[in-house]
Amino acid sequence: MFAEIMVLLTFVFLVIFIVQPLFAPQAAFQTDSENDKIQTLQLRKEILYRQIKEAEMEHDMGNLSDEDYKRTRQQLKEEASQIIDLLEKIGKK
């Protein structure tokens, strides 16, 4: 008898756990999604800054030509600027 009650309770909790997201407000999911997007963009920005520093270091050591350094730095700066613009737009919402 005890085992049957435990199986039934486990089943009920499992069903509640599975069905619960269907009744959650959509705003909660959007906020999490927006926060994830902001965190992803900030992480990408940090990575780009690191890549710019690495390119500068490679150039200073002589492993990267002037032309390659300028081109790489320009591309990375453009992408970082786009990400900063996106972060500012999201922040104004």
Overall average pLDDT of the 85-91 stretch: 88
Answer yes or no: is 6 within a domain.
no
Give all strands (DSSP E) within 25-85, no chain letters.
none
Q: Is residue 54 part of a domain?
A: yes
Q: Is residue 15 assigned to a domain?
A: no
How many structural domains comprise the chain? 1
Measured distance CA(27)–CA(20) in Å, rounded: 15
Q: Looking at residue 25, what DSSP letter applies? A: -
User: Residue 12 — very low, low, confident or very high, per pLDDT cuts 50/70/90?
Assistant: confident
Q: How many whole angstroms separate alpha carbon 22 and alpha carbon 49?
A: 41
- Residue 35 resides in a domain: yes
In a domain, 5, yes or no: no
pLDDT tens track for 35-65: 888 899 999 999 999 999 999 999 999 998 9
Average pLDDT of the residues of the chain: 86
pLDDT at 85: 94
Q: Does a structural domain hold residue 87?
A: yes
Domain of residue 86, residue span: 29-93
pTM, full prediction: 0.63
In a domain, 63, yes or no: yes
- The full length of the chain comes to 93
Is residue 8 in some structural domain?
Answer: no
For 9, 18, 30, 79, 84, the CA distances from 46, given in Å and listed in that order, are 48, 37, 24, 12, 11
